[in-house]
Structure 1
């Protein structure tokens, strides 16, 4: 009976998209300009505009769901939503757990943000968001990694002296550095990952193919590059 129940549960999860009337788009809502909540509490940013256009081209009804970053993959695989569209870089480690569409950004540079020039990026204390490619890079670099659940907390760690610098996507940190005279980008940019794509359950091949085709159509007609220039001016277009 236990095996039957497990099989039934697996079947239900594998059929999740086929049975659903609405595709639930999971995002963090806390990582501008990729995704954030606007003054009305609605998901906004590059990925909101991109996701809405992809759903339109794929002829899908979609709704947006926010989820904390540290549980965003487990809650996809458990069926809380149908996609991840949250600035998630495509990596071999993540591909063991979920599938990805083709990338909708090139590999973007990661940057260090600090309170001043001259901080020790190789042997100092570096903050990064838990479960990111930046955290993995810092852990392997010889620096001391301190991890936080949200991107805001990583920046706060630099402000309060808990960390010497934070490593994150340059598109995220550049806006902070521009707005805060006490913080500055330091060191060289770091290229990590294979670009950003939509994450999906491995069983949802039909849904993956629909979004793959929609992303390709936006690459082909130039509209994806228009969004990249609008929201991610530091990123390389296709």
Structure 2
């Protein structure tokens, strides 16, 4: 689904997870329905429910850690938490810095939201969250890109006229369409790979446990049920 981020930090590549049976799960908490903070101040969403179930099947105890997107890979590498479960697309660039489990969702299409359904994208100013696959795509097209730190800011830029459109995962934009005159354009983009959990390259044993848990959810159909419940992507 979501993003492209390059981490240059190589600190603590040999760090192990916090304790034998406790795993700290790092997420953004700002990308509904994948992950968000609910009214009780708790991490919620598809990936919270998924992560808790994966930990249960892997016989691990989960602790959830909220982290801003732009530092989510460096802070994994430096040992602030043990996994990333934050709508992160598996890409070759990221795989040079961290490891990934097998994908737990297929690729999510990227879509555009604008105030004008007839906006000319090639000549428009398009907003995207910084360090995402969407930002990289716009830049590769040679279109005019404005980047923001959070997904909320990209949508706000369209509302207040700083940008003509925003490009993001369709599942996220579905949550804002229809508010303040925002409309979804017909055009979508197939960019990025499936979404997986990110781990330090030194944590092969932990990756194997989560791989097995993800596969068990695919095999018994519970992963498709969870994807359908939260409407985050197509099913397996």
TM-score grouping bracket, smaller chain normalisation: over 0.9
Deviations, residues 142-162 of structure 1 (Å, cap 9, x unaligned): 211110000000000000000
Q: Distance in 2 between matches of 1:158 and 1:128?
A: 10
Give distance in 1, aligned partners of 2:61 and 2:169. Answer: 30
Structure 2: how far apart are the matches of 1:154 and 1:232? 21
CA distance in 2, matches of 1:123, 1:142: 10
The residue that corresponds to 2:195 in the other structure is 196
For structure 2, the 5+ residue unaligned runs are 1-9
Query: How many Å apart are 1:123 and its aligned residue?
Result: 2.3
Which SS does the other structure have where 1:17 is aligned?
Answer: coil
The one-character-per-residue Cα deviations of 1:90-135 (angstroms, maximum 9, x if unpaired) are: 1111111110001011011000000111112122111000111001
Match of 1:208 in 2: 207
Equivalent position of 1:219 in the other structure: 218
1:32 matched to which residue of 2?
32
For 2:197 and 2:123, how far apart are their aligned partners in 1? Answer: 34
Higher helix share: 1
The 5 Å alignment of 1:83-102 reads 83-102=83-102
Question: Does the CA contact (< 8 Å) of 2:128 and 2:166 recur in 1?
Answer: yes
Output the TM-score relative to the length of structure 2. 0.92
Specify the alignment match of 1:125 in structure 2: 125
For 1:232 and 1:75, the matched residues in 2 are separated by 29
> Which residue of structure 1 lines up, in the alignment, with residue 163 of structure 2?
163
Q: In structure 2, what is the Cα distance between the partners aligned to 1:53 and 1:76?
A: 21
Aligned residues: 227
Do the aligned partners of 2:111 and 2:168 also contact (CA within 8 Å) in 1?
Answer: yes
Partners of 1:61 and 1:232 lie apart in 2 by 26
Other-structure match for 2:71: 71
DSSP-derived class of the 2:228 partner: helix
What do residues 138-181 of structure 1 show as CA deviations (whole Å, max 9, x unaligned)? 11112111100000000000000000100000000012104x15
1:123–1:142 contact (8 Å) kept in structure 2: no
Secondary structure of 1:65's aligned partner: strand
Local SS of the residue matching 1:197:
coil
Root-mean-square deviation (Å): 1.5
Residue 19 (structure 1) shift: 4.4
1:151 aligned partner: 151
> Whole-Å Cα distance in 2 between the matches of residues 19 and 40 of structure 1?
27
Cα distance between partner residues in 1 of 2:114 and 2:61? 42
